Amino acid sequence: IVIDRREAYIGFLRGNRIEPISGVTSMVPGKQRKGGQSSARFQRLRLIAINEFYKKVGDRASDIFLAEKDFFERFKGVLIGGPTPTKEEFEAGAYLHHELQKRIIGLFDVAYTNETGLAELVENAADALKDLDIIKEKNVMNRFLQELVKDDGAASYGEESVRKNLEIGAVDTLILSEKLRRARLRLACPTDDYTEERTIIIEPGKHIRDLDFGTCPNDGASLYVAEEADIIDELTALADQSSTTVKIISDDFEEGSMLYNAFGGIAAILRYRTGY
């Protein structure tokens, strides 16, 4: 929401795309009173008009946001932009529906309160949005760590263990470090039907198909790469087969670094305990 005392504009931020939805124009008079009105009466009428405008914007925003499909699951928060003191008055007056009011992420200065202002708001709120992502990532990692330390905890880590749990549909949430630089390969023998799967670390400056993968155990022919995929893509595709949630975690915070350094960058919260 971008707002000053002349107008307001409401929109959605979906991923990196800004979707303008609705503008609201105010009837608030300027600061200069017309002849024949006392200063006190003019200011009183002006404050009433400001309050009515804030209510109109709050009602419009509430109608738009609460009508969003799967609101409680998908709606992450509200950004409010505008000059001081307008945005502060709008927040403090609780003009939004209470479910939106408690989801206010922050207030940000913007020069425009039209569609251009929405883009400016998103740009100025970049740090807050990044912090919001980190909070969500922290929550995922904390859930994993809590399960891990329980005697009957439903958690696993390491590629082999997590892969086996994915294959039997036991993973609720797959947790992958964005720092993973590995490839999943299907190696094949050129002279018979022997194949095997192998995960390798992707080293900078080296091409996978130039590497030596050993020989076929049947006839000694050199194995070649029949298929290759980034391990994040490959594990995500495996997770999709059992409607598993996938979370990609940065290393911009302590638990994110721990995922990569202590758990190999691959972990899972399970639907139930398994032997893996």
What CA–CA distance (Å, rounded) separates 47 from 58? 16
Q: What is the mean pLDDT of each run of 10 residues along the chain (276 residues)?
A: 96 87 89 67 89 96 88 84 96 95 95 95 90 85 95 94 97 96 95 95 84 94 94 96 94 90 97 92
Tell me if 37 sits within 8 A of 70, measured CB to CB.
no
In CATH, what number is assigned to the domain containing residue 255? 3.30.1330.30
User: 103: which 2 tokens?
Assistant: 């989801």
- Amino acid symbol at 150: K
- What's the pTM value of the predicted model, to 2 decimals? 0.61
The whole-number pLDDT of residue 271 equals 96
At which of 124, 151, 176 does a domain end? 124
Task: Count the domains in the chain.
Answer: 2
Closest to 188 in 3D by CA, of 164, 215, 159, 168 = 215
Q: How does strand 182-188 pair with strand 224-230?
A: antiparallel
| Residue 129, in any domain of the structure | no
What CA–CA distance (Å, rounded) separates 50 from 208? 65
Domain match, 189 and 120 both = no
| Residue 29, in any domain of the structure | yes
At which of 91, 124, 157 does a domain end? 124
CA 58 to centroid of chain Cα atoms: 25
Domain match, 148 and 186 both = yes
At which of 124, 145, 176 does a domain end? 124
Sign of CA dihedral 193, 194, 198, 202: negative
Which residue range(s) make up the domain with 196? 134-270
| Residue 230, in any domain of the structure | yes
Domain match, 183 and 204 both = yes
Domain match, 183 and 89 both = no
Domain match, 150 and 115 both = no
Cis peptide bond prior to 85, omega within 30° of 0: yes
The whole-number pLDDT of residue 75 equals 85
